């Protein structure tokens, strides 16, 4: 298994909605052969430019280990989730 980190921006929702989105992706990683190590919730921040007509977003950084198949599924689900404004998955070299 390899180490990865994913940074994603959730569109401005109430606290309960934001927590639900973060929990959804935490469970997705765990259920597809990955292991979440750390979740950093950076909070709501102003975006440098409008993304889908939103000027703010909730930033979240997740460090995890996973197999490549987990990354493919995570990427697929992130692309079709309307609550995600932007995301980036990076493999961490050791």
Contact 71, 52 (CB under 8 A): no
pLDDT at 62: 93
**Which domains are assigned to the chain?**
2-86 (3.30.70.60)
- Is the CA virtual torsion 24, 26, 14, 57 positive or negative? negative
What is the pLDDT, as a whole number, of residue 44?
Answer: 92
pTM of the model: 0.87
What does the pLDDT look like over 27-74, one tens digit per residue? 999 998 889 999 999 989 999 998 888 999 999 999 999 998 999 999
């Amino acid at each position: 298994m390899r180490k990865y980190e994913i940074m994603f921006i959730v569109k401005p929702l109430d606290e309960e909605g934001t927590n639900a989105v973060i929990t959804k992706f935490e469970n997705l990683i765990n259920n597809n052969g990955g292991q979440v190590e750390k979740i950093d919730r950076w909070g709501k921040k102003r975006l440098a430019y409008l993304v889908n007509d939103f000027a703010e977003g909730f930033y979240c950084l997740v460090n995890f280990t996973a197999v490549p198949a987990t990354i493919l599924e995570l990427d697929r689900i992130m692309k079709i989730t309307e609550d995600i404004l932007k995301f980036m998955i990076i493999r961490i070299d050791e």
